[in-house]
Amino acid sequence: MKIHKEGRRILFFTLLALLAANLLLFRYNAENGGVNKVFAGISVIVFLTLLQFFRSPARRLFTHEDLVIAPADGKVVVIENVHEPEYFDDQRKQISIFMSPINVHITRNPISGIVRYFKYHPGNYLVAWHPKSSTKNERTTVVVESEAGPFVLFRQIAGAMARRIVWYVNEGDEVSQGEEFGFIKFGSRVDIFVPVDTEVKVQIGEKVKGGQTVIAQLKTTAPSLF
């Protein structure tokens, strides 16, 4: 299993801390063997949980210029028309994906194109499914002019457990659909804003995979697979 670069340092120091704690218990608390074994078991569970969180599975990416691909693993929790105030200042169709702590937390470019806008916002840590988390929580906003023409906005949003967002893009960058654009540590959410005439290909409650699941089709004159 491949481990994502964002988790290697955390896993290394967590392993050292857990090993040290267990060695100290077995050395200085030998008379309580049952307690020591329970702690050892909990240590293994904690480390394996972190290990699966930072996994980076190989993906066969699905790409096409007028299709919007899921930027992350998770469950679709919002599909609605909303006013997007930060960049477009008009009506957009919002699709939101909630990422639980057991999901892969790599975030991927939903389309190919040029980054026309990027901004990091410090903020609160409301639970990721809270309606105001999209505008109140720590987050990043990326706007890409897609190869098909329409502009697409996508946003990494920190959750109650997530306290650090990592990104690998800046304004002016050329990005490729399915490639990593960042990582969110622990429970979180990704919002995607597309033109209102975009055809959504997923439903509320549907589970999606980053880089593979088609979530929407942009309205263009270009030929499509769908």
CATH number of the domain to which 91 belongs: 2.70.70.10
Q: Which of 4, 226, 215 is nearest to 104 (CA)?
A: 4
3-class secondary structure, 138? coil
Residue 225 included in any domain = no
Beta-strand relationship, 139-146 and 113-121 = antiparallel
Domain closes at, from 56, 77, 99: 56
pLDDT of residue 226: 57
Domains in the chain, number: 2
d(CA 96, CA 175): 21
Model confidence band, residue 71 (pLDDT cutoffs 50, 70, 90)? very high
Tokens 């089709």 sit at which residue? 217
Residues counted in the chain: 226
Question: Dihedrals φ, ψ of 205, to 5°?
Answer: 90, -10
d(CA 36, CA 89): 58
pLDDT of residue 219: 86
Stretch 32-45: mean pLDDT: 82
pLDDT at residue 65 greater than cutoff 80 = yes
Domain identity same for 43 and 140: no
Tokens 């057991």 sit at which residue? 102
Residue 39 included in any domain = yes
Residue pLDDT, tens place only, 150-190:
999 999 998 655 557 889 999 999 999 999 999 887 668 89
pLDDT at residue 114 greater than cutoff 90 = yes
Give the helix ranges, DSSP H, for 115-180.
133-136
Asked if 24 contacts 43 with a C-beta cutoff of 8 angstroms, the reply is no
Asked if 201 contacts 214 with a C-beta cutoff of 8 angstroms, the reply is yes
Domain identity same for 47 and 96: no
Residue pLDDT, tens place only, 135-153:
667 889 999 999 888 999 9
Given 112, 134, 188, 224, which residue is catalytic? 188
pLDDT of residue 125: 58
Domain identity same for 39 and 117: no
For residue 90, the cross-strand partners are: 84
Residue 43 is among the residues annotated as catalytic for this protein: no
Domain identity same for 45 and 140: no
